[in-house]
Amino acid sequence: MYDSGKIITGLVIFLAIFTYPLWSNMGKAAPVPKPELPPKSVATQCVADTNYMRTSHMTLLNVWRDDVVRMGDRVYVSANGKAYNMSLTNTCLECHSDKVKFCDQCHNYLAVAPFCWDCHQVPKPKEKE
């Protein structure tokens, strides 16, 4: 092998950089986020089913925003026929009152920085009985 000093150095640097995901997590547990659901006494059902909410709640929120702000329409009828007031603060946050224990769980896990809180106030967690 010619120029082995330079080439082996290069390969070691390459391996060190490209295996970053493997060694940076060494010996660390990666807890799966557990968004805390509201107690059963508050609500048993969301405005849409869990799978949809897990992947597409942001679309729903933006549709609500456009409907309310641009169309002045405040009523959302869910799949099972129940009517809701389209409001982040008064509907969503009424049940999911703790941003840290609910929203941030997954958002931080995936480095998602939604712009909700550019305008909306972060709710104060309610005291639990």
Tell whether residue 10 is a contact of another protein (CB under 8 A). Answer: yes
Contact 114, 107 (CB under 8 A): yes
53 touches another protein by CB under 8 A: no
Binding mask 21-50 for another protein (x = CB under 8 A): xx-xxx-xxxxxx-----------------
Nearer to another protein, 30 or 124 (CB): 30
Query: Is 8 in a helix, a strand, or coil?
Result: helix
d(CA 84, CA 16): 53
Using DSSP, state whether 28 is helix, strand or coil.
Answer: coil
**By CB under 8 A, is residue 118 in contact with another protein?**
no
Question: Around 18, how many Cα atoms within 13 Å sit in the side-chain half-sphere?
Answer: 6
Please, what is the minimum distance in Å from the beta carbon of residue 124 to another protein?
A: 25
Q: Which of 16, 39, 49, 109 binds another protein (CB under 8 A)?
A: 109
* Residue 54 in contact with another protein, rule: CB under 8 A: yes
Amino acid at 19: T
